[in-house]
Amino acid sequence: MAVDPKCVGAESSSFTLRYDWKTLVLYALGVGATRNELDFVYEARGPKVLPTFGVVPGYPVLSELLARSGASLDKVVHGGQSVTAHGPLPPAGELTTRGVITGVYDLKRMTQVVFKAETRLEGRLVYESEWMLIVLGEGGFDGPRPPKSPIPKIPNDAKPLFVVEERVSPEQALLYRLSGDPNPLHIDPAVAKMFGFEKGPILHGLATYGFAARALIAGAFGGDASRLGTFHGQFRKPVWPGDVLRTEGFEVEGKYALRTTSSAPDEVVALFAGEATSG
């Protein structure tokens, strides 16, 4: 089924996520948090919440709105993601999330479907998220082009402010999927091969997103996650569990611009931009 450009404006149902400290810790572990980051994995310290946790309550919205768009799930890849966190979360609570399709863009040989979601805790806005999905093999319908990316270009001669390297655990995708994305592409070798990934199941793009956010929090904010207000991501290449991710951070156009490369092979797999809170 082809994407219907008339789906813009379609709204999702309201979805509820009841979470506790274990939900928060499971997410932190799923994006690579270690025993050196006790604030995010130990309930006696809160736990504190990584801002990118804001993607988790959006997963059911993603599923519903993709179906509303007419996109075939076997052609969809994650192209980009943004999350804005509006203050800290308590260690337990009930989140409600609603979303709306905000754009269908013509990439000639592909189509980009964008939706935005808002997540609230007892009526208070705690997260805004924007999801950019690419539908392969579709396009050329004379639709609008997508807006400019919020990720600034890193100058060729720029020197990084910080560099963080981490090896992705071989079991990382198995752990991350427990936070709400059970797509078999990330666990089943037969499904991965069907999609052309002969090396096996790939890591979730949003797990790489979390790894990069942790790198920024450690490298620029001294471990203080509350200083990261908005985090944008653009996914370029797949990452496999077992790869080494190298994230370099730069200051460009008033933002922290990040470039993440993978060791296997050595290539840019994603670009990110973080915006600090004003507080």
Domain final residue pick, 136, 170, 187: 136
271 is written with which tokens? 């670009």
One domain for residues 167 and 231: yes
Count of domains observed in the chain: 2
The pLDDT value given to residue 263: 86
Residue 154 in domain: no
* Domain with 80 in it: 5-136
One domain for residues 9 and 132: yes
One domain for residues 104 and 169: no
The pLDDT value given to residue 279: 54
Residue 272 in domain: yes
pLDDT by residue for the chain (279 residues), tens only, comes to 589 999 999 999 999 999 999 999 999 999 999 999 999 999 999 999 999 999 999 999 999 999 999 988 888 889 999 999 999 999 999 999 999 999 999 999 999 999 999 999 999 999 999 999 999 888 888 899 999 999 999 999 999 999 999 999 999 999 999 999 999 999 999 999 988 899 999 999 999 999 999 999 999 999 999 999 999 999 999 999 999 999 999 999 999 999 999 987 779 999 999 999 865
Burial 106-143 (b: 16+ CB within 10 A, else e): bbeebbbbbbbbbbbbeeeebbbbbbbbbbeebbeeeb
One domain for residues 103 and 208: no
Residue 157 in domain: no
Q: Residue 7's CB: how many other CB atoms inside 10 A?
A: 18
Q: How far apart (Å, rounded) are the C-alpha atoms in residues 230 and 128?
A: 9
One domain for residues 112 and 46: yes
Q: How far apart (Å, rounded) are the C-alpha atoms in residues 262 and 220?
A: 21
The pLDDT value given to residue 73: 80
One domain for residues 167 and 94: no
Domain of residue 166, CATH code: 3.10.129.10
One domain for residues 230 and 269: yes
Residue 156 in domain: no
One domain for residues 43 and 100: yes
The pLDDT value given to residue 265: 74
Structure pTM? 0.96
One domain for residues 116 and 9: yes
Active-site residue list: 181, 186, 202, 205
One domain for residues 123 and 189: no
Residue 144 in domain: no
One domain for residues 82 and 186: no
The pLDDT value given to residue 278: 67
The pLDDT value given to residue 140: 85
